[in-house]
Structure 1
Amino acid sequence: MKIGVIADLHIDRGNKYTPADFEFYLIETAKNKQLELLLIAGDISNNYKMTAQFIKKIKYALNIPVLFIPGNHDFWTNETDISSLNIVDYYISMEECLIDSPFIINNEWAIVGNTAWYDYSYGDDKFSEERLAQRKYYGATWQDKEKIDWPLTDQSMSELALKQTVKDLSKVDNKNIILMTHIVTHKQFVVPTPHRIFDYFNAFIGTSKFNKLYETFPIKYSIMGHVHFRKSIEEAGITYICPCLGYERQWRTKDLAVELKNTLVTITV
């Protein structure tokens, strides 16, 4: 099976391109690459209804399985009638969402997914946990602080994500696993330091809590997003892939079709 993986589309953050443009060009890219399954590792939009609608349209147009996990932006809420926890439940109710619903490819392979959550472990040790919890530095605010209303601390949310992922990994009967998260789960994918800003903000990029999962379960591919890098490494028999489209200002060209083609990574199982 030929599987495409991509992350951080941010379809509502384009300057030149509209969400409909992202939809059109992603469909074209997937068709051109002859994908049989598409995985999206979060941060599709800043609105849960837009994210859900986008997934449904892509799936309908391609007529192949399209699976996703939400990113932090997909949990943002500016509405008074719904909380971020309600949005989690909304996504879990979707058949395309991997949280609590691993996807069995065949007798040998399965896909497990969870947003995961940052636990401050990749922030510089010079910052205390209390200082990091402020999520403000050099006049900049980590926007999750304003736009996500979790009732628990980031560390507690990270632990809950870990427990759910272990539960889902345990459902797939020792099959080879493609693990998809939004939050970074490997230290080589954080912003390189020393860095004036990201010595601090790397605290909100990844989690080290998943380290033990790679030693316990037969994970062969680990897909992640969030950091807006495009990078892959192989380590101890595991291929780690970060296929982030990112914001338009971060693209290497001005052409969405080219960027999607260059960002989307294919794997064959």
Structure 2
Amino acid sequence: MSKLAIISDFHMDSNHFSEEELLVFEEVLREEQVTDLHFAGDISNDLYGISFPYLNRLSRSFIVTYNLGNHDMIGLTENEIDKKDFLIKKLGNKTLLAFHGWYDYSFYGGDLGKIGHFKDNFYFDRKIHRDFDDQMTTEILLEKLNQVLNSLEGDVIVALHFVPHAHFIIDTRYEKFERFNAFLGSKTFHETFLKYPNITDVVFGHIHQRYNPTVIDQINYHARPLGYTYEWEILRKFLIKYPKFQDDTIRQPKKNYNHIKELVEWKEYKKEHLKDEFRSAMTTFNF
């Protein structure tokens, strides 16, 4: 029996993982008897300098694959991005299909005329240079996705980085935050998946919010991104256990985390519960 684990939004540089913490992650993989590990995007902000050396290290103990997220694409050409897209891997009588995904603003209901300016001046992806606009990039991707899915027989597990269904989009009344929904993914992914009844499961990330497994139109959706440390479940539990460290005057989670990250109590709690956080961020399949 083999086991595939899929994890997204590892962000190993932004999370400043120490060597000890990376070893904890690898220990969790062994404890869970994982044989195959897939990263569904956003491993780090430096694919060649940071991510690849770590993937090579993991490859000594596990069969490691990946698809790109937006953070992984920094500094890459369109050709490099394209060459790393659409991984097909046999898992016994199942198939893993992994592709990057992208966005086409279909999750945004506001004025599309403002989106280009927002992306060019504020959004992270201004650092990424694609050959085509976002809608055309997604359209080209969907054409290839249909071609690949038409060629696959048997049950298919799909992994991608970007959000494939509006169910997972956070509804907000504030236009400033709603604009981010434009860059989360595309509803056309789910519409495409519906044409292929052999798709049993879809695993994705990008949203940095974990959901329980959700069945939509007979497809099992899994969103368990690891995300940034200040978003972690164990941080929430720490602040419940130690309410004296919760500063109610600080509204932003990142600033709240900066307020406590050097505390001895937090460091000890994080060390004790880090395995739980890694486990919570993995979706596994036996094959």
1:95 corresponds to: none
1:191 corresponds to: 170
Query: 1: CA distance between counterparts of 2:203 and 2:225?
Result: 10
User: Any idea what the Cα deviations from partners look like across 1:89-108, whole Å, max 9, x if unmatched?
Assistant: 5x62xxxxxx33311112x3
Partner residue of 1:126 out of 106, 110, 125: 110
**Matched ranges for 1:142-181 at <5 A:** 142-145=123-126, 147-172=127-152, 174-181=153-160
Query: 1: CA distance between counterparts of 2:190 and 2:280?
Result: 29
Q: 1:167 to 1:24 in 2, by over 3 A?
A: farther
Query: 1: CA distance between counterparts of 2:68 and 2:179?
Result: 24
Q: CA deviation at 1:57?
A: 1.4
Q: Any gaps of 5 or more consecutive residues in structure 2?
A: 236-269
Query: 2: CA distance between counterparts of 1:21 and 1:14?
Result: 13
Q: CA deviation at 1:136?
A: 4.7
Letter in 1 for 2:179: Y
Q: CA deviation at 1:88?
A: 1.5
Q: Stretches of 4+ moved more than 4 A in 1?
A: none
Q: CA deviation at 1:193?
A: 2.6
SS at match of 2:157: strand
Contact 2:194 2:217 in 1 (8 A): no
User: Any idea what the Cα deviations from partners look like across 1:45-87, whole Å, max 9, x if unmatched?
Assistant: 0012122222221121x2x32221110000012xxxxx43253
Q: CA deviation at 1:196?
A: 4.6
1:219 aligns with 2:204: no
* Greater radius of gyration (CA): 2
2:4 corresponds to: 3
Contact 1:8 1:245 in 2 (8 A): yes
Q: CA deviation at 1:26?
A: 2.2
1:66 corresponds to: 64
Query: 1: CA distance between counterparts of 2:113 and 2:21?
Result: 39
Contact 1:113 1:165 in 2 (8 A): no
SS at match of 1:253: helix
Q: CA deviation at 1:228?
A: 0.5
Q: 1:22 to 1:133 in 2, by over 3 A?
A: farther
TM-score by length of 1: 0.84
Partner residue of 2:184 out of 205, 219, 223: 205
1:236 corresponds to: 217
Query: 2: CA distance between counterparts of 1:10 and 1:258?
Result: 17
Contact 1:190 1:206 in 2 (8 A): no
Query: 1: CA distance between counterparts of 2:21 and 2:137?
Result: 31
Letter in 2 for 1:132: I
Query: 1: CA distance between counterparts of 2:150 and 2:63?
Result: 22
SS at match of 2:146: helix
Query: 2: CA distance between counterparts of 1:179 and 1:142?
Result: 27
Larger mean Cα displacement after TM superposition, 209-218 or 188-197: 188-197
The percent identity for this pair of structures is 25
User: Any idea what the Cα deviations from partners look like across 1:88-129, whole Å, max 9, x if unmatched?
Assistant: 25x62xxxxxx33311112x3101111110110001x232x2
1:87 aligns with 2:87: no
Query: 2: CA distance between counterparts of 1:157 and 1:3?
Result: 29
TM-score by length of 2: 0.79
User: Any idea what the Cα deviations from partners look like across 1:114-171, whole Å, max 9, x if unmatched?
Assistant: 1110110001x232x221122359xx711111x1011210111111221222222233
Q: CA deviation at 1:241?
A: 0.5
Aligned residues: 246
Query: 1: CA distance between counterparts of 2:22 and 2:78?
Result: 27
Contact 1:119 1:155 in 2 (8 A): yes
- Which structure's residues are more often helix, by fraction? 2
Q: CA deviation at 1:184?
A: 0.4
